[in-house]
């Protein structure tokens, strides 16, 4: 594999530079003196930011985008083998690195490299760790999979020995990393277009954990089924956190939820209260995320006061139960949930906050995930009073597998739920404007572009 020499900056081209992770990595290289260019199918606020910082941005992907002085090309798992820029790079014999391989090489430059993994909760937990480290004035470099207002985006270039990033399991990407601290939040069935089954996913996380050096640290959720057997041969130190197992290294006591669903609680380590946390985001799942963040912070030597300051009133990132606004007494929330577990957690939280009718507009994400988890999606979505389905957002997929959102609608109807399906956002908006009444809650949900629907209703 081609190795980047960070002491000798070269010219790097990114295929798919507009992605949340790719744009961040491009900014890291730019800060280290590399000349950077990149392309994407459409420009965005992320590419505009990079362009303003000095990156050459191309809209659309074509062979001519690869300038004569490009030394190495970075691409993502979403790039197909017939991509014109990828083909041109191969024809010229240019070195190629995946996004994950580049991220792994960047991590090698930091004595304290934290990789936060799990089927869900990565962005929130990474953001929580970020807030704690900023409160402790540790000047970290951060790569997060969402927009975090306290750092003004998805990347923060620090000048310390500490680097924190999300670690995605898709295509075994996190096997290319070199962390000194790992977090495993949860392990559930997902990305079944790549993994064979849940056992295959568990084995991938096991391989990820074994990457840690003997002096490294694994922070793992003790509520993961049979986690001890899964991690039994890990050579490094391991600490656990749990909402349900009082024997875990980190657990909680005196949990209280206010009228907005925000939790306050004591963090207990080995039967001793070490911090009192008051979050500004709702849901039990965020208590678990905070426990993981506290464990990481302590491993990095952060004091109690900074941990409490960092998490005090934590507001989250964009698209994580984000209140977008109100329209005629109707509250509109947006959430990135696209896995049944995430949907269930979000809707359960919404149920606790609002007694009137709960509407959910759900945009299924990828045909593979929708087909594999169809029953689980229906059960989770049934927590809403009324459900509206959009077309499936295909993301990287081209094969429909013979399914559509209509199949999911039938599953919901079989559960006795009132469900609607529309082909376009315009149709959904018109329907909602006639159906919603003051006091109701509307959640737009999914990992695609469904966020635009609520924003259109609000005129944002």
Order of all β-strands in the sheet with 217-221: 153-156, 141-148, 162-167, 112-117, 181-184, 217-221, 237-241, 250-257, 262-269, 272-282
Report d(CA 153, CA 130) in Å as an integer. 12
**Which two three-digit tokens encode residue 112?**
């304290």
Report d(CA 340, CA 360) in Å as an integer. 14
> Active-site residue among 123, 165, 240, 368?
123
**341: number of Cβ within 10 Å:** 19
**Dihedral (CA of 316, 322, 325, 326) sign:** negative
Alpha-carbon distance values, 128 to 73, 142, 289, 314, 416 (Å) = 32, 11, 8, 7, 39
**337: number of Cβ within 10 Å:** 25
Question: Do 115 and 182 form a contact (C-beta atoms < 8 A)?
Answer: yes
What three-state secondary structure class fits 92?
helix
Report d(CA 265, CA 35) in Å as an integer. 47
Residue 1: CA count within 13 A, CB half-sphere: 12
Question: Do 102 and 173 form a contact (C-beta atoms < 8 A)?
Answer: no
Does the annotation mark 440 as catalytic?
no
Residue with tokens 């362009």: 51
State the greatest distance between any 2 C-alpha atoms of the chain, in Å, as a whole number. 63
Residue with tokens 């957690």: 345
Does the annotation mark 27 as catalytic?
no
> Active-site residue among 85, 101, 131, 166?
166
Report d(CA 88, CA 17) in Å as an integer. 17
| Burial of 45 from C-beta contacts in 10 A (0-12 / 13-18 / 19+) | exposed
> Active-site residue among 47, 85, 122, 308?
122
Q: Name, in order, each residue with C-beta under 8 angstroms of 370's C-beta and a sequence gap of 6 or more.
A: 364, 377, 392, 403, 405, 408
Does the annotation mark 430 as catalytic?
no
> Which residues are known to be catalytic?
122-123, 166
């Amino acid at each position: 594999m081609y190795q980047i020499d960070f002491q000798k900056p070269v010219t790097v081209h990114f295929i798919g530079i507009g992605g949340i992770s790719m744009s961040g990595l491009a900014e890291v290289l730019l800060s280290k003196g590399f000349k950077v260019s990149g392309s994407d199918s459409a420009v965005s606020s992320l590419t505009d930011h990079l362009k303003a910082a000095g990156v050459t941005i191309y809209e659309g992907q074509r062979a001519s985008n690869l300038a004569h002085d490009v030394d190495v090309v970075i691409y993502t798992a979403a790039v197909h083998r017939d991509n014109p820029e990828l083909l041109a790079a191969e024809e010229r014999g240019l070195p190629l690195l995946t996004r994950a391989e580049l991220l792994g090489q960047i991590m090698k430059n930091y004595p304290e490299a934290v990789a936060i993994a799990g089927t869900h909760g990565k962005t929130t937990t990474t953001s929580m760790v970020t807030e704690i480290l900023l409160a402790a004035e540790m000047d970290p470099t951060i790569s997060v999979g969402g927009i975090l207002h306290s750092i003004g985006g998805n990347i923060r270039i620090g000048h310390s020995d500490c680097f924190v990033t999300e670690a995605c399991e898709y295509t075994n990407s996190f096997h290319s990393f070199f962390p000194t601290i790992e977090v495993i939040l949860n392990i559930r069935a997902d990305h079944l277009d790549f993994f064979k089954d849940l056992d295959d996913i568990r084995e991938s996380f096991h391989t990820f954990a074994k990457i840690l050096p003997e002096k490294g640290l694994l922070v793992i959720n003790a509520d993961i089924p049979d986690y001890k057997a899964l991690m039994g041969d890990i050579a490094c130190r391991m600490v656990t956190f749990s909402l349900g197992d009082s024997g875990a290294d980190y657990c909680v006591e005196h949990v209280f939820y206010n009228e907005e669903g925000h939790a306050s609680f004591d963090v207990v380590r080995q039967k001793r209260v070490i911090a009192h946390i008051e979050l500004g985001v709702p849901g039990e799942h965020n208590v678990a995320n905070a426990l993981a963040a506290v464990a990481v912070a302590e491993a990095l030597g952060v004091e109690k006061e900074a941990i409490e300051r960092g998490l005090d009133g934590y507001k989250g990132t964009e698209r994580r139960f984000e209140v977008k606004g109100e329209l005629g007494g109707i509250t509109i929330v947006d959430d990135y949930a696209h896995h049944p577990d995430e949907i269930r957690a979000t809707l359960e939280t919404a149920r606790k906050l609002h007694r009137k009718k709960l509407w959910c507009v759900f945009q299924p994400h990828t045909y593979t995930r929708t087909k594999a988890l169809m029953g689980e999606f229906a059960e989770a979505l049934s927590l809403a009073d009324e459900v509206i389905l959009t077309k499936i957002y295909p993301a990287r997929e081209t094969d429909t597998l013979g399914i559509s959102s209509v199949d999911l609608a039938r599953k919901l109807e079989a559960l006795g739920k009132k469900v609607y399906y529309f082909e376009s956002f315009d149709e959904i908006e018109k329907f909602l404007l006639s159906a919603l009444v003051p006091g109701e809650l509307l959640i737009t949900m999914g990992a695609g572009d469904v966020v635009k629907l609520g924003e259109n209703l609000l005129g944002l």
